[in-house]
Amino acid sequence: MPDRSIPEYPLVMVCRNPQVLPAPLPEGYTYAFYKPGMEDAWCQIQCSVRDFSNPEEVNALFHTEFGDETDLLSKRLLFVCDRRHRAVATGALWHKNGYNRLHMVAVVPGMHHRGIGMALISKLMSLYYEEQCQGIIYLTTNTRGYRAINIYRKCGFQPDSGKDFVDVPLDSETYTKAWRIVDNKLKDYEKRRKRKEPGDTTGTGGAMEVNSGFDKTKMCKISTLTTPGQAVKTMHYHLYSQIWYVTQGSCIHKVEGQSYTMSAGDAFFIPPKVAHSTELDPESNVICCEFDLESVLQHNVVPYDKIREITGNISFSMLFQKELFSTRPQFTFSKDGQKQMERLMNTMLDEYNRGDQYYEDFLQLQILQLLLIIARELQRPPVDEAVKSNLVFDKYREMVVMAVNYIDEHFDKPLTLDGMCRISMVSKTYFCYIFKILTGKTFVEYLMEKRIERSMTLLRTTESSVIEIGHAVGFHEPTHFSRTFKKLRGISPREYRNNTILSQQQEKQEKEKLEKENGKTQDPADPQKQPDPPKPQDQAAPQKPDSKKPKT
């Protein structure tokens, strides 16, 4: 995951002598080339590691970056799949401006430190030779992805100014500053890795292993966290699973480089070998269920494969591959689910502490019930009645209006839905709901409409190039600008400009023709001079009335 604690500068790296490193996939993982219909898998992976405002934005990105080259996609866009054939990583050996490009490489959170990224890059490099490519390979990244940069360097990529590959390369001073940040962060990162515990062989980035502490039973441990001192603030991992449920107060859970605030009613599922840390607020209460799945299933009380599948799905959905555009990986229960969860967790805690006869058998069944409750809640569509209430609208309307005005003034800047939520101090759910009521559009629809309207004005009134105008209104990729313009207006920016020029010429000609026909063409030397009045001889003589009276 990107490290948001440091400044973000765009970087370019180049491999001038592509080499294939021996880096096999971990056991149980396989490669799969793109097939029609895998766009959703690609979008989900990208959403898990990058910030997008809504589904339209990431879907548009897929078509912007890869177009409709289905045949080439089936040879160059690669996925890594787990044992259940779910895509957990992706990357492409693509092309741009006549150069080969290592493009959109991403591994879902929770699958890092397993060798998947290195193996994927190695496989993409081998495609370079299989497809008989020639020349260098370049890629774009940024300072916050320094862990990925470390892998790229091992694969032969070196820093480059980027002047041949990107529209706006960094100036020399910023370029030097950016790479100094990367080098310093990588030095600290390597120091942490060298200080890791001797028993840490999982590659979890220097996190220490914490033993189970299953002293009462080898199957599980049910306990509570009530004071800040009980939380483990240093990064660590376990060889067993954990389910946390907050019954009071809140705590901060750090996983894969990001921090998440859990409050009462939230749960978190931590699979084995995932590095994390915790900070507990005072006057908080968390019930922790730690369990070894193999021990829970040792008596095979239910079909083994079914529970394993359920557990795997929970891990994948709640931690590794978040739902599209979800802002938090932890899980908040429905009202009914919360009651069931809280009652069951307290029952398990009481059963564990009392240790009555057959308590292990009870706990075994209750852990299975716990997993089934979570699995059922994951399938339940979220419903928030509060969002629909007039009270919510009245409360947040003014702040969302302020955000709308901000968009009107700064639409040419890099704006995101998360950023607007921070500016308005309104949650994403409420913001989207009220924004749609006020504007009739989603955030991205409104932003794109503003940018296209401004671009139309610039196309009519300036001689700037289409690429320059696209940049001026907030589009960093010319193809994205052209596709969005055509989607909203039905024609490309260039066609719009040509049609506008032709229309203006025709309008001018019609005006001149009309003025000429009306005889109102002014003397260019004297705009105020009016045409001479007609001469008397040119006028027809009026008939005089007959002065003679008729005879009587």
Closest by alpha carbon to 424, among 455, 447, 403, 453?
A: 403
Across residues 212-216, what is the average pLDDT? 77
Q: In this predicted structure, what is the pLDDT of residue 193? A: 62
> Percent of the chain scored above 90 by pLDDT?
20
Across residues 438-452, what is the average pLDDT? 89
In this predicted structure, the answer to whether residue 540 has a pLDDT above a threshold of 60 is no
* Alpha-carbon span 62 to 104, nearest angstrom: 10
The position carrying tokens 């300072």 is: 143
In this predicted structure, the answer to whether residue 376 has a pLDDT above a threshold of 60 is yes
Tens digit of each residue's pLDDT (9 = 90 or more) over 109-146: 767 777 899 999 999 999 998 888 888 999 999 998 88
Strand order through the sheet with 250-255? 208-209, 236-237, 276-280, 250-255, 258-263
Across residues 52-60, what is the average pLDDT? 72
Lowest-confidence range among 201-205, 220-224, 361-365, 471-475?
A: 201-205
Q: In this predicted structure, what is the pLDDT of residue 447? A: 92
Q: In this predicted structure, what is the pLDDT of residue 390? A: 61
Greater confidence (106 vs 265) lies with 106
In this predicted structure, the answer to whether residue 509 has a pLDDT above a threshold of 50 is yes
Across residues 50-73, what is the average pLDDT? 78
The mean pLDDT value of the chain amounts to: 79
Q: In this predicted structure, what is the pLDDT of residue 542? A: 47
Q: In this predicted structure, what is the pLDDT of residue 104? A: 92
Tell me the C-alpha to C-alpha distance, in Å, between residue 111 and each of 1, 104, 117, 272, 317.
11, 17, 9, 11, 13
Say what the pTM is.
0.52
Q: In this predicted structure, what is the pLDDT of residue 1? A: 55
Q: Residue 206's pLDDT band (boundaries 50, 70, 90)?
A: low
Q: In this predicted structure, what is the pLDDT of residue 90? A: 94
Greater confidence (527 vs 65) lies with 65
* Alpha-carbon span 430 to 96, nearest angstrom: 40
Tens digit of each residue's pLDDT (9 = 90 or more) over 301-359: 555 566 666 666 655 554 444 443 343 446 677 778 888 999 999 999 999 999 998 89
Q: Could you give the domains of the chain? A: 10-194 (3.40.630.30), 208-382 (2.60.120.280), 387-495 (1.10.10.60)
Lowest-confidence range among 457-471, 509-523, 526-540?
A: 526-540
* Alpha-carbon span 46 to 104, nearest angstrom: 8
* Alpha-carbon span 242 to 272, nearest angstrom: 8
Q: In this predicted structure, what is the pLDDT of residue 257? A: 62
Greater confidence (377 vs 281) lies with 281
Q: Residue 254's pLDDT band (boundaries 50, 70, 90)?
A: confident
Lowest-confidence range among 166-180, 339-353, 510-524?
A: 510-524
In this predicted structure, the answer to whether residue 538 has a pLDDT above a threshold of 50 is no
Across residues 13-42, what is the average pLDDT? 88
The position carrying tokens 């054939």 is: 85
Token pair recorded at residue 287:
């019930």
Instruction: Tell me, letter by letter, the H, E, C secondary structure of 151-173.
Output: HHHHCCCEEECCCCCCCCCCCHH
Tell me how crowded residue 407 is: count the other CB atoms within 10 A of its CB.
Answer: 18
Q: Residue 164's pLDDT band (boundaries 50, 70, 90)?
A: confident
Phi, psi of 173 (to 5 degrees): -70, -45
Phi, psi of 363 (to 5 degrees): -65, -40
- What lies within 8 Å, CB to CB, of 163 at 6+ separation is 169
Q: In this predicted structure, what is the pLDDT of residue 326? A: 41
Across residues 527-538, what is the average pLDDT? 51
Greater confidence (296 vs 524) lies with 296
